[in-house]
Structure 1
Amino acid sequence: MPHADISPQVRGNARRMRNAMTEAETKLWNELRAHRLMGLGFRRQVPIAGYIVDFACAAHRLIVEVDGSQHARPQSADYDRQRTRRLEADGWTILRFWNDDVLRDIDNVCEHIVRVIGKGAFE
């Protein structure tokens, strides 16, 4: 599948977001980076299809989003559904976790990611 063009503005926004991650994003990134989770390769704040996703594992077409309370608002939820439909149409699977889930139960978040990818039991 060919890569979509990424505007300089989106690329710059992604770069800024990498330097200003939330506490929950940082906690999850510490579990995902450097192939720490079952050898899976993740990138953070990745531009895909005109959106910037929190984490992406290209080998398994998996996107992991870490959402704050603003995503519970109706207009944000509508935007997220539209975004999810677009990314799924391109063959991506999207997992969403609330900040609180990541901060309080990182082990179960990681187990769920591994289960979805189908790597087997998490150790």
Structure 2
Amino acid sequence: MRRPIIPYNPKLKQKARRLRNNSTLSEVILWRHLKGKQMTGFDFHRQRPVGNYIVDFICCELYLVIELDGYTHMLERQGEKDEIRESNLKSFGLHIIRFWDEEVYDEIDNVLRVIEDVVSKQKNKLGL
């Protein structure tokens, strides 16, 4: 079975590069645990264009997106935007998991356990 290609907007490449060069503290902390295939041998990328969005982390092989939410996501209008964004990303066949920045700061071991569990489920679901 051939899996669908994950589309992206090439106009977002420069913005994604700027975001990679100006990562938040939570992104830096999580990236230390995801880079170099440390997460059960799967390759993650950070700040990657997907459709008309830039996702925090993605494993294309698993169709898995990890998003980190800070204080701006607590705003009323931002919640609506997040729902639309998530719906659009799911339309590409992506599975999305979200963590609050504070979870990464204070409970990184729990965050990593959740990611490992989702990676395992996605791996099984996709027959990898």
Superposition TM-score, scaled by structure 1 size = 0.91
Identify which of 96, 107, 110 aligns with 1:108.
110
In the other structure, the counterpart of 2:54 is: 52
Distance 1:25 1:7 in 2: 23
Match of 1:66 among 65, 68, 91: 68
Give the match for residue 77 of structure 1: 79
Partner of 1:32: 34
Shift of 1:5: 4.9
2:89 maps to 87
Find 2:7's aligned residue among 4, 11, 17. Answer: 4
Percent sequence identity over aligned pairs = 35
Give the match for residue 18 of structure 1.
20
RMSD: 1.5
Report the Cα offset of residue 4 of structure 1: 2.9
CA distance in 2: counterparts of 1:5 and 1:30, whole angstroms = 25
**Structure 2, unaligned runs of 5 or more:** 124-128
For 1:23 and 1:5, locate their aligned partners in 2 and report how far apart those are by CA, in whole Å: 26
The alpha carbon displacement at 1:107 in A equals 0.9
Shift of 1:117: 1.9
Using the TM superposition, name which of 15-24 and 34-43 deviates more.
34-43
Mean Cα deviation higher: 20-29 or 34-43: 34-43
Q: Which residue identity does 2:80 align to in structure 1?
A: D
* Structure 1 portions without partners, runs of 5+: none
Q: TM-score, normalised by structure 2?
A: 0.87
What SS does the corresponding residue of 2:28 show, helix, strand or coil? helix
C-alpha separation in 1, matches of 2:103 and 2:48 = 22
Secondary structure, aligned partner of 1:118: helix
Q: Which region of structure 1 is more displaced relative to structure 2, 53-62 or 110-119? A: 110-119
